C-alpha cells in the first residue's frame, strides 16, 4: 500500500494504458516487502519539460522509465547522459539523485540481449540483422555492437534514418562490419524485427502481410538462427510463427520487457545493480554460425 514513506518510480508515455511495467515492478516490490511503487503517467508531449523540472524537486521520486514517444525529448532534458544514451539521442530510464540531478541511460538493447542470452545467443563474433532503425532498433543495434558482433546488417524503409544510424555506429564501433543490404539470411545467427510490422495495422507494401521481410528472403533463414520480435501483441507474430516452423529458436517481444526490468530498476537504484557482462552471457550453448 502506498503511504507517506513510499518511494516512487514512474513510467511516462502517451498513451500509457498498454504498458506492463507497473505490474512487473510492483509485483517485484511487493514480493520483497519493499516500500516502493511504480505509477503510470499519461504525459502530454507539451508538458514533458514541466514534468522534468518538477521531477527535480520530487523528493521521494527515485526515477522515471520513459516509453514512446518521449525518449528523445527526455534525453535532451537530462542533466547527465551515459555515453550510450548520448550517442543514441534517447533515454528510456532516468535516475533522480538526492540533489535533484537527472541522469539518463538507454537500456532497451541490454534488455533485448538479456533475453537473447536465455536462448543461447551471445554477441562476440556473431552475424546479425536488425530490421528497423527507429528508437528500439537503434538501441538493439548499439548493444549488439557494444557486446562484440562481427557483422551487423541494418534495414529500414526510411533511407535517411538508416544512413544516420549506420554512420553513428561506424563512428563508435569501427571494428564492426556494418552493411545496409541483405540478399540472404542463411549466414545470420540473429534476425531481429524492431518494427511494428506483425501487428494487425502495421504492414509494409514491400513485404508480405504481417511480415517485415519478403517471403522469398525469409525462406533463406537458417534453422540455427535465433529470430526475435519486439512486437508484444500478438504473443506469436507472423514472423515468429514462420521462424518456428523452420526450426529456428524464437524470442517473443514480452521477453525483452521482462529481461529489461533488472536493468531499469538497477539504474534507478530501486533494485540491485546489474552487471551487463554477467547478464549478457548465454545460458545454454549458442548455435554455430
Give every CB contact of residue 216 below 8 A, 6+ residues apart in sequence: none
Encode burial over 173-196: b for 16+ CB neighbours within 10 A, e otherwise: beebebeeebeebeebbbbbbbbb
**Quick check: helix, strand or coil at residue 191?**
strand
Catalytic residue among 71, 76, 127, 252: 71
Nearest residue to 63 via CA among 27, 28, 31, 92: 92
Range 243-251, long-range pairs (CB < 8 A, 24+ positions): 243/191, 246/221, 247/223, 248/221, 248/222, 248/223, 248/224, 249/119, 249/120, 249/225, 249/287, 250/226, 251/115, 251/116, 251/119, 251/226, 251/227
Reported as half-sphere exposure (CB side, CA atoms, 13 A), residue 203 has a value of 7
CA–CA distances in Å: residue 72 to residues 20, 53, 68, 279: 21, 16, 9, 26
Could you confirm whether 246 is annotated as catalytic? Answer: no
Q: Could you give the CA distance from residue 40 to residue 62 in angstroms, rounded to a whole number?
A: 14
Cell readout for 43 is: 504525459
- Residues with catalytic function: 71
Amino acid at each position: 500500500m502506498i503511504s507517506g514513506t513510499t518511494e516512487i518510480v514512474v513510467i511516462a508515455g502517451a498513451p500509457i494504458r498498454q504498458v506492463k511495467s507497473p505490474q512487473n515492478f510492483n509485483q517485484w516490490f511487493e514480493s520483497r516487502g519493499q516500500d516502493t511503487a511504480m505509477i503510470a503517467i499519461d504525459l502530454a508531449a507539451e508538458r514533458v519539460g514541466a514534468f522534468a523540472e518538477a521531477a527535480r524537486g520530487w523528493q521521494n521520486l527515485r526515477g522515471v522509465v520513459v516509453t514512446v514517444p518521449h525518449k528523445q525529448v527526455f534525453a535532451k532534458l537530462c542533466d547527465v547522459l551515459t555515453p550510450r544514451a548520448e550517442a543514441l539521442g534517447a533515454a528510456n530510464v532516468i535516475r533522480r539523485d538526492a540533489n535533484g540531478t537527472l541522469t539518463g541511460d538507454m537500456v532497451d538493447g541490454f534488455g533485448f540481449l538479456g533475453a537473447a542470452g536465455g536462448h543461447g545467443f551471445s554477441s562476440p563474433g556473431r552475424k546479425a540483422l536488425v530490421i528497423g532503425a527507429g528508437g528500439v532498433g537503434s538501441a538493439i543495434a548499439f548493444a549488439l555492437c557494444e557486446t562484440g558482433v562481427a557483422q551487423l546488417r541494418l534495414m529500414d524503409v526510411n533511407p535517411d534514418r538508416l544512413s544516420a544510424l549506420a554512420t553513428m555506429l561506424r563512428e563508435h564501433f569501427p571494428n564492426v562490419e556494418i552493411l545496409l543490404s541483405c540478399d540472404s539470411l542463411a549466414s545470420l545467427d540473429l534476425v531481429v524485427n524492431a518494427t511494428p510490422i506483425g501487428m494487425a495495422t502495421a504492414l509494409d507494401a514491400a513485404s508480405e502481410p504481417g511480415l517485415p521481410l519478403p517471403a522469398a528472403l525469409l525462406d533463406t533463414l537458417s534453422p540455427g538462427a535465433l529470430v526475435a520480435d519486439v512486437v508484444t501483441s500478438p504473443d506469436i507474430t507472423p514472423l515468429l510463427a514462420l521462424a518456428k516452423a523452420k526450426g529456428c529458436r524464437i524470442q517473443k517481444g514480452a521477453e525483452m520487457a521482462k529481461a529489461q526490468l533488472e536493468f531499469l530498476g538497477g539504474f534507478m537504484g530501486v533494485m540491485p545493480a546489474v552487471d551487463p557482462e554477467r547478464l549478457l552471457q548465454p545460458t545454454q550453448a549458442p548455435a554455430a554460425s
